[in-house]
Chain A
Amino acid sequence: MSFLSLEQVSHYYYSPTSYTKALENISFSIADGEFVSIIGPSGCGKSTILSLIARIMEQTEGHIYVDGENINDSSVQIGYMLQQDYLFPWRTIIDNILLGPKINDTISEETHQQIKQLLDDVHLPGTEQQYPDELSGGMRQRIALVRTLITNPNILLLDEPFSALDYVTKLKLENIVSEMIKRYNKTAVLVTHDLGEAISMSDRIILMDAKPGRVAEIFDIPESIRQTEPFYVRRHEEYQQLFDHIWQYVSEDTVGERNHNHEGDN
């Protein structure tokens, strides 16, 4: 069943002197509980897609549906974790996490218990009264994740959440996130530059082309890799083969030699 679907979505950025066609005829759908990664060269419109799904902007053309309903009419909760943590420096950690519930006016005793639970989940218990600048980059990103999860989103959008981290921290966080998404049964869209990360976390990978941004290729991840925890996927026997296979397309893409005849493949 397709839970979230984009149909012929195009998006333009306008300015008084010029315009940019960021997305052209993007179509794909995601099943309930599925984890999809979007990869592609810088500027191909990955963040733009997430912003459209997050209802921060409206697409110039096309439709986005959730559960068969237009996304703007839908009451579905969507959590969006931006490319950087964007914790509000003048608010304590707890007040940062409470932003979503505050705006939706849903703060309750239960919210506080949930925050405690989530902080435990990301291994940061007891940081409630600290300020963001007292935490390291990796800790801040985990707090941003908690801030996103506390609104109980059905759909989780993650924009390169692990990009600024050292390798080990990154692998650990991948595990935490992947585990939490499975446990709380979220549908998730992850944007990343790291093909290994995409392979180890997702059920499917969407590869995009730049200028204008469009879907180039969609790859299914084999069941055996999907069952493995992200931390160990990179050592899985099928991993390297799959990596090399996708890498062909990715490198063709970045070298720019692709003629667009792959489009009909899916």
Chain B
Amino acid sequence: MKETIDQILYSKYKRQIKKEKKIVTIWQVALFLLFIGSWELLSSSRLIDPLLFSSPSKVITLIYTKLGDGSIIGHLSITLFETIIGFLLGTIFGIILASTLWSSKRVANIADPYLVILNAMPKVALGPIIIVALGPGYVSIIMMGAIISVIITALVVYSAFNEVDPNYERVLLSFGASRWQCFKEAVFPATLPTMISTLKVNVGLSWVGVIVGEFLVSKKGLGYLIIYGFQVFDFTLVMSSLVIIAIFAAIMYKLVEKLERWLIKHTVS
């Protein structure tokens, strides 16, 4: 008898959760439709300038035709490629830099003011210099995607290294471990969750770096399409590119989130 009451209460709770979820979804869809609908309406009734703000129907048509002739796939894939590589490089080099700082207190002390300045500096402002140094190609753009996250990754991971309970190292030292062994067996694995959580931040940062990079030099990519559309006054193209960026940035974020969960489950039990 008692168990059935418990079950009834529990299924009531589950129903409530389901109901709440439904309400949230309905609101989300409604807001989306409202936004698209009013945009379309305002544009077609010329309350806003359709030349500047385009309209959903035009954006969809454009994306559809560009998907059809395949031209957008090229732009999309180059931007995705640059972002992923930039993201990986930024994260990996950030962690390597953090490890170097950890390996020598003196190096860390010497580097400190430079890291503070580099961190405070808006990295995209370095764009022109990077382009001059590496040439106006995708190497520069990948660099921009990487450099934007490398310093902050290094600082976050380095401070996480320092927060690892020194007693884990003491355990290893009592076995006669070297500093490198302490790093490998205690400091690095204890910091994995922090490293994994930087991934999510970095993927967003890399999009910024890459799009700005494409603004500056590229002949290809979504950033280029935005700048090109702006220059030839084709705002439907600008809007279409923005929509595609929004979709793919969200997909990538979700994938990294999945990867994060998987990594946490499989490395830090």
Contact = CB atoms under 8 A, between A and B. Distances in A.
A148 to B, nearest CB: 8
Interface stretch (A28-36, A38-46, A77-85): A77-85
Contacts of B167: 82, 84, 86
B168 interface: yes
Given A99-B175, A103-B175, A88 B189 contact: yes
A82 B171 contact: yes
A137 interface: no
A51 interface: yes
A167 interface: no
A56 B170 contact: yes
B41 to A, nearest CB: 56
Contacts of B190: 88, 90
A79 B174 contact: yes
A40 to B, nearest CB: 21
A264 to B, nearest CB: 35
Interface string B166-180: 011011111111000
B80 interface: no
Interface in A52-107: 54-56, 78-80, 82, 84, 86, 88-90, 99-100, 102-104
A56 B174 contact: yes
Interface in A85-135: 86, 88-90, 99-100, 102-104, 131
B176 A99 contact: no
B186 A88 contact: yes
A32 B268 CA distance: 42
Interface in B215-267: 267
Contact of A86 (B168, B192, B269): B168
B268 A88 contact: no
A89 B190 CA distance: 9
B71 interface: no
A265 B264 CA distance: 59
Nearest to A132: B269
A192 interface: no
A151 interface: yes
Contact of B171 (A86, A89, A90): A86
A116 B50 CA distance: 77
Interface of A is mostly: loop
Contact of A88 (B168, B175, B177, B267): B168
B175 A100 contact: yes
B112 to A, nearest CB: 15
- Most chain A CB within 10 A, of B172, B181, B268, is at B172
Contacts of B173: 54-56
B115 to A, nearest CB: 21
Given A86-B167, A88-B168, A103 B189 contact: no
B185 A103 contact: yes
A54 B190 CA distance: 23
Contacts of A99: 171-172, 175, 185
B269 A103 contact: no
Contact of B267 (A55, A84, A90, A104): A90
B176 A103 contact: yes
Interface in B171-204: 171-177, 181, 185-186, 189-190, 192
A103 B172 contact: yes
Given A51-B170, A56-B170, A151 B175 contact: yes
Contacts of A78: 174
A56 B179 CA distance: 12
Nearest to B171: A86
Contacts of A56: 170, 173-174
Given A86-B167, A86-B168, A54 B267 contact: no
B150 to A, nearest CB: 26
Nearest to B182: A103
Contacts of B185: 88, 99, 102-103
A82 B181 contact: no
B268 A90 contact: yes
A67 B167 CA distance: 28
A131 B175 contact: no
Given A90-B268, A104-B175, 13 more contacts: A51-B170, A79-B174, A82-B170, A82-B174, A86-B165, A86-B170, A86-B171, A88-B186, A88-B190, A99-B171, A99-B172, A100-B175, A102-B185
Interface of A: 51, 54-56, 78-80, 82, 84, 86, 88-90, 99-100, 102-104, 131, 151
18 contacts: A51-B170, A54-B173, A55-B176, A56-B174, A80-B174, A82-B170, A84-B167, A86-B170, A86-B171, A88-B171, A88-B189, A88-B190, A90-B189, A90-B192, A99-B175, A100-B175, A103-B175, A151-B175
Please list the 4 inter-chain residue pairs (A to B) with the smallest Cβ-Cβ separation, ordered nearest first: A80-B174, A100-B175, A103-B175, A54-B174
